[in-house]
Amino acid sequence: MALTIRRAVPLATLTTLGLGGPARVLAEIRHVEDAREALRAARSEGAAWGILGGGSNVIAADPDAAGWGFDGWLLHPVGSAMTVVRRDADHVWLRADAGVVWDALVAFAVDEGWAGITCLSGIPGKVGAAPIQNIGAYGQELAAAFDTAEVLDTVTDQVATWSATDCAFQYRDSRLKRAAGRYLVLSVTLRLQIGGAPALRYGELRDRLGLARDPAPESAAASLDVTQPDATRPDATRPDAQPRLATVRETVLAIRRAKGMVLDAADPDSRSAGSFFMNPIVPTTAADGALSGLERRHGATLAMPRYPAPPAVDGTARVKLSAAWLIDRSGLRPGYDHPDHGGRRVGLSAKHTLALVNRGGASTADLLAFAAHVRERVRDTTGIVLMREPVLLQPAR
């Protein structure tokens, strides 16, 4: 099949933020030869290239002087195959093309009764981006279920199979992300547990399921106020009962919808890139200083969410904090905007302070100006510097 290319494609239609000028060329990648052909064409033109998956963790540029949001070739994975490549008594190895919608993969695994990624339900985007970002939510990370990825080096045109060690996964980070644009993920293989129990580490999820809180939480993802348990909870007479994977998936999706974190054309709060800032990992002393300053500011004792984190290279003790909590305690409430930083066009989600929302008519410049304002406000109030999670769509050559 010949390579499919589209020209002058508006990036606003391909990103969840709905921002960005047009890409000069978009090449649909179904297999490695499509990618190689697109790269050859870009090189023959002396053009830049880049990679765009589901557009859910990406900030695309406004039009430049020539009218382009991306002046070059964008490689856009669209392969949709999911295949069981190996199975034993306890595990299944599931391979998915990079173009598979991530949540479709989770739904398939849950339907089959395979555990390992259930709590990652509702995360937008495609499979190819999952190892780049080491996606995680509600007590699970991709790294725990990851087996291998088939990766094309766009510089050498060579394909290699990467292990978890090769990927060098960290919190919302990987070697793939640190070399943005160089490597194109072609497929991902996950190792999932047949009939396995759901991961129930995250406090808010346990609350919704009617389970006791884990005394040693493993997730530092930010949360909103806990909602009351609903009909998905296990039988109250059996507090140790494990909910089904499908129940956990439905509960995760319900929590995400309440925060505007599930894509929904009818929900303006879902026009975002999800969590815009990562939960900061800081020295314990910095966390203590931030808390003391906030308590003086608020004139009250505060309970700052903090979670264990690996020590720094020099052995300094560190903790992971909630970015949403820091934003909120810095005086920026859900729905907040600023007349000098994007005006009413962009602001915090009305459902979750960790999401920055394009309310309509915004530009990427508006979004970045407002993000800088939020970051500065938190830094000036707490001394903690937040780092952006979505990446800028950058060209390579």
The C-alpha atoms of residue 152 and residue 156 are separated, in whole angstroms, by: 8
Taking each helix axis from N to C end, the angle separating 284-298 and 364-382, rounded to the nearest 10 degrees, works out to: 90
Tokens of 295: 């308590």
> Which amino acids are annotated catalytic?
172, 275, 389
Distance CA 68, CA 190 (A): 37
- The single-letter DSSP state of residue 290 is H
Cβ 207 vs Cβ 184: under 8 Å: no
CB 62 within 8 A of CB 363: yes
The two three-digit tokens of residue 147, written as one number: 């087996």
Residue pair 353/334 in contact (Cβ under 8 Å)? The answer is yes
C-beta separation of 124 from 133 below 8 A: no
**Residue 263 CB neighbour total at 10 angstroms:** 18
